[in-house]
């Protein structure tokens, strides 16, 4: 597998003249695909079928990768197999019948409003346990403001502006954006900071991060994901849960209730409106309701 990948990378550098960062991105995407295929008993690129490649993309989706990133990976895979086919290194191109990345979309998993309520209820804010209050505050904030898990882990105390009701978030590429937080969420955060967090950071009071572990250290992405999955299990939610589930639900519920797509784009920190447009799939029921309400032949 490595030999054909080296041929392709050299082709990108020499014949296409792509930048080092772009070439590295292609290599990383294809290495992930190669590892996935090897784990599934496929030891040569030519042995991979169209279904194998779609299984890989679905695997990436279940891991929490955003639809735009999956579309980028699909573009890399298509280019790679087109190259192998053109160089007659494989007999047929398994991506030939796959849809164009521009049209191809993987819809994000989401929770209903009832499921979100059930998820949040697992960690009661009335509990006296510091970790329970921390977990509830985290999940409330993720759903209230649509934060990525990586953004949540990087939040500091100074990023929460209680007076203005906003959160300063550092997103992808170290881009800063301001997102609103609901009054209920801010009230819960205030309680967490003044009681639970103070208890958790007793041995390391100078740590700047908003959410900390039981030992007073910065929480990592994996632990937050585990907390969400544990809450879903205890709430009886039988869905594939990943780090972006609450973020997807945040955007979907805003759209369902009439929020402007551009506003949602701003709150999510998407550079391209096309990335935000994946959430328009949920408006089917809303469209039907609007049609029934306003059409003259209802």
Active site residue 26: no
Active-site hit among 134, 244, 248, 253 = 244
Active-site hit among 78, 197, 248, 270 = 270
The encoded tokens of residue 289 equal 């309701």
Active site residue 270: yes
The encoded tokens of residue 34 equal 């190669």
Cβ proximity of 77 and 95 under 8 Å: yes
Active-site hit among 61, 78, 197, 247 = 247
Cβ proximity of 140 and 117 under 8 Å: no
Tell me how far CA of residue 171 lies from CA of 150, 155, 270, 273, 278, in angstroms.
8, 10, 9, 16, 19
Q: Is 164 exposed, middle or buried (0-12, 13-18, 19+ CB in 10 A)?
A: exposed
Active site residue 279: yes
Active-site hit among 134, 136, 148, 248 = 148
How far apart are the two ends of the chain, measured CA to CA in Å? 60
Which ranges in 40-182 belong to alpha helices (H)?
Answer: 50-62, 67-86, 113-121, 130-145, 149-154
Active site residue 209: no
| DSSP per-residue letters across 31-76 | HHHHHHHHHTT--SGGG--HHHHHHHHHHHHHTT--HHHHHHHHHH
Active site residue 262: no
Name the nearest CA neighbour of 25 among 102, 93, 79: 79
Active-site hit among 82, 164, 172, 239 = 172
**What 3-state class would DSSP assign to 101?**
coil
Query: Residues in the chain, how many?
Result: 298
Active site residue 81: no
**Helix pair 20-39, 50-62: axis angle to 10 deg:** 100
Residues classed as catalytic: 148, 172, 244, 247, 270, 279
């Amino acid at each position: 597998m490595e030999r054909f990948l080296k041929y392709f990378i050299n082709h990108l550098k020499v014949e296409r003249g792509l930048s080092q960062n772009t070439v590295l991105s292609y290599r990383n995407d294809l290495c992930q695909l190669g590892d996935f295929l090897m784990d599934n008993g496929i030891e040569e690129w030519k042995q991979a079928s169209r279904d194998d490649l779609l299984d890989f993309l679905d695997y990436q989706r279940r891991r929490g990768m955003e639809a735009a990133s999956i579309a980028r990976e699909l573009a890399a895979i298509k280019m790679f197999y087109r190259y192998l086919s053109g160089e007659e290194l494989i007999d047929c191109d398994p991506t030939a019948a796959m849809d164009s990345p521009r049209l191809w979309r993987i819809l994000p998993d989401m929770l209903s409003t009832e499921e979100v309520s059930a998820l949040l209820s697992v960690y009661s804010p009335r509990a006296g346990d510091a970790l329970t209050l921390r977990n509830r505050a985290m999940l409330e904030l993720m759903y209230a403001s649509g934060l990525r898990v990586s953004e949540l882990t990087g939040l500091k105390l100074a990023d929460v502006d209680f007076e203005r009701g906003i959160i300063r978030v550092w997103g992808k590429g170290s881009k800063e954006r301001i997102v609103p937080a609901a009054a209920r969420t801010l009230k819960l955060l205030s309680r967490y900071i003044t009681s639970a967090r103070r208890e958790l950071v007793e041995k390391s009071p100078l740590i700047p991060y908003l959410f900390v572990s039981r030992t007073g250290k910065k929480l990592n992405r994996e632990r937050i994901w585990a907390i969400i999955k544990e809450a879903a299990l205890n709430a009886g939610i039988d869905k594939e849960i990943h780090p972006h589930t609450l973020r997807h639900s945040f955007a979907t519920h805003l759209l369902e209730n009439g929020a402007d797509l551009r506003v949602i784009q701003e709150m999510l920190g998407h550079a391209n409106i096309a990335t935000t447009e994946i959430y328009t799939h949920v408006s089917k029921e809303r469209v039907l309701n609007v049609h029934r309400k306003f059409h003259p032949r209802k």
